[in-house]
Amino acid sequence: MILLLKVGTYPSCFTCPPGRIADAARLVLRAQARRKEKEISMKRPVIFCTLALLAFGMLTLLIACGQSQASVPQYTPQTRDFTMVTVPLLVKESAATFGFLQKDFAKGGVLADKEVYAFSPDHLTVYQGDTVNLTIVNPEDDDHNFTLSDFNVAVALPPQAVTKVSFVANKVGVFTFYCNIAMHVPFMNGQLTVLPDSDATS
């Protein structure tokens, strides 16, 4: 039997017994197996290192996220106390001092059947969840009321009296409060601004 082997780049042809052919084949197979095993063993450290780096990166990310969430302070709702006064700005009694108001208050005038009052202060700011305590002073002899529909608040403000009202600002936004007496609409109003509780900790 003739066996053709490739030695280097030069083929050589020689006669070999069958047993030796089998031995040679086994040697070739063993050499190939060792080579594959060596290649696999060389790849194992690389794979292990890659997996270790991925695991370390994920662990670091989880720790960072946990610390970030833990470090965000939570807002504790507060009790906010405000004192408000009803103020006459342009009323019929003023016509004796300011002559031009006589025409304004007359029938067909720009203030016919109206009087101009205000709340002072007319703008309040709180955070969501805060309890708002209002003390409203009406020093005049005219009736008023305080209406804040978005929070179901509506209280009478009797003349020359102090009225108190409380509510929880449980929603975010800008809300209008007003006196709904026809003679005082639309002048007597103001705004309540409720900021998100997250703004208090940012």
pLDDT digits (tens, 9 = 90+) for 76-132: 999 999 999 999 999 999 998 999 999 999 999 999 999 999 999 999 999 999 999
Residue 2 pLDDT grade (very low, low, confident, very high; cuts 50, 70, 90): very low
pLDDT value of position 3 = 47
Q: Which of 71, 106, 124 is the last residue in one of the domains?
A: 71
**Nearest residue to 196 (alpha-carbon basis) of 162, 165, 171:** 171
Is 47 in the same domain as 16? yes
The pLDDT tens digits of the residues spanning 18-56 come to 666 666 667 767 767 777 776 666 656 666 667 777 777
C-alpha–C-alpha distance, residues 76 and 68, integer Å: 19
Assign residue 26 a region: left if phi > 0, alpha if psi is -120 to 50, beta otherwise? Answer: alpha
Pick from 55, 71, 87: which residue ends a domain? Answer: 71
Range of the domain at 132: 79-200
- What is the overall mean pLDDT for the chain? 84
Q: Looking at the structure, do residues 48 and 147 belong to the same domain, yes or no?
A: no
142 or 7: whose pLDDT is higher? 142
* Count of domains for the chain: 2
Greater pLDDT, 114 or 61: 114
66 and 165: one domain?
A: no
Whether residue 192 sits in one domain with residue 92 = yes
pLDDT at 44: 63
CA distance 196 to 187: 29
Residue 27's identity, in one-letter code, is L
CB 148 within 8 A of CB 84: no
Question: Is the pLDDT assigned to residue 188 strictly greater than 80?
Answer: yes
112 and 20 in a common domain? no
Confidence of residue 10 (pLDDT cuts 50, 70, 90): very low
User: What pLDDT score does 150 carry?
Assistant: 96
- Its pTM stands at 0.64
Whole-number Å distance between alpha carbons of 137 and 157: 8
Supply 198's token pair: 């997250």
Neighbours of 145 (CB within 10 A): 19
Query: Binning pLDDT at 50, 70 and 90, where does residue 7 land?
Result: very low
- pLDDT on residue 155: 98
- List, in order, residues 6 or more apart from 122 with CB less than 8 Å away: 189, 190, 191
